């Protein structure tokens, strides 16, 4: 920043009144006000490998979640398909795969924004609990990224399960399909859905971390 200021000072001394001639006087005010936002957007880089890891993790997690839901209640997986207009067993499985990929796409942003706080908290807890330390230290030494993303994935999956199974899905079934449903859906079926999506999140994080780490 000091070099930049020095350069500006030299430019002012050498050009006098012509300094700042590179600035665009006709630039819209909104562009000036939103300049930091535009710079942030331009600085974002999309890593194809991260997208591939998220998609693979989403498919694997979607399979696990669909399996748990179907084992609990075959009609439950059909109701997931009904959200997409296909209230069949095949429709439910395809819907779970599609949702698995859809929910996985923001996962890399979630990881990048949460990983520092998560690791700090885990380290603090492990320093106070000898048993937890004995479990975590070997895992982190062997596969630090995968262990971390799997932990983050579990939390991410719980959030997805609460939003989708307990709130979004019953609202959609009640409003669009005319199916009576409690909102939030605090039934055994709704809680099984949260568990299924928690497993989804753990699987997503596991596959995501393994692909990026190895």
Given a cut of 50, whether residue 7 has pLDDT beyond it is no
Judge whether 149 and 111 are in contact, CB under 8 Å.
yes
Q: Provide Rg for the chain, Cα atoms.
A: 24
In whole angstroms, what is the distance from residue 173 CA to residue 103 CA? 20
Give per-residue pLDDT as tens, 114-153. Answer: 888 887 887 777 777 777 777 777 777 677 888 889 999 9
Judge whether 33 and 25 are in contact, CB under 8 Å.
no
More confident residue, 48 or 29: 48
Domain ranges of the chain: 2-40, 48-213
Give the model's pLDDT for residue 202: 96
The gap between the terminal CA atoms of the chain, to the nearest Å, is: 39
The average pLDDT across 160-178 equals: 86
Given a cut of 80, whether residue 105 has pLDDT beyond it is yes
Q: The pTM is what?
A: 0.72
Only one residue has tokens 């062997």, namely: 142
């Amino acid at each position: 920043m000091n070099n930049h200021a020095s350069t500006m000072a030299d430019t002012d001394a050498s050009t006098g009144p012509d300094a700042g001639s590179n600035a665009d006087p006709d630039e819209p005010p909104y562009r000036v006000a939103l300049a930091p936002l535009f710079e942030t957007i331009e600085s974002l880089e999309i890593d194809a490998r991260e997208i591939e890891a998220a998609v693979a993790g989403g498919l694997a997690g979607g399979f696990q979640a669909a399996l748990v839901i179907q084992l609990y209640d075959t009609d439950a997986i059909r109701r997931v398909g009904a959200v997409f207009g296909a209230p069949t067993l095949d429709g439910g499985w395809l819907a779970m795969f599609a949702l698995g990929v859809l929910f996985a796409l923001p996962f890399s942003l979630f990881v990048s924004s949460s990983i520092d706080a998560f690791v700090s908290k885990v380290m603090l807890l492990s320093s106070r609990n000898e048993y937890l330390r004995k479990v975590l230290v070997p895992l982190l030494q062997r596969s630090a990224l995968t262990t971390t993303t799997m932990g983050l994935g579990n939390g991410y999956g719980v959030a997805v399960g609460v939003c989708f199974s307990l709130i979004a899905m019953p609202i959609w079934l009640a409003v669009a399909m005319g199916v009576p449903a409690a909102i939030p859906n605090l039934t055994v079926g709704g809680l099984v859905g949260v568990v299924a999506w928690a497993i989804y999140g753990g699987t997503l994080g596991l596959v995501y971390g393994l692909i990026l780490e190895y």
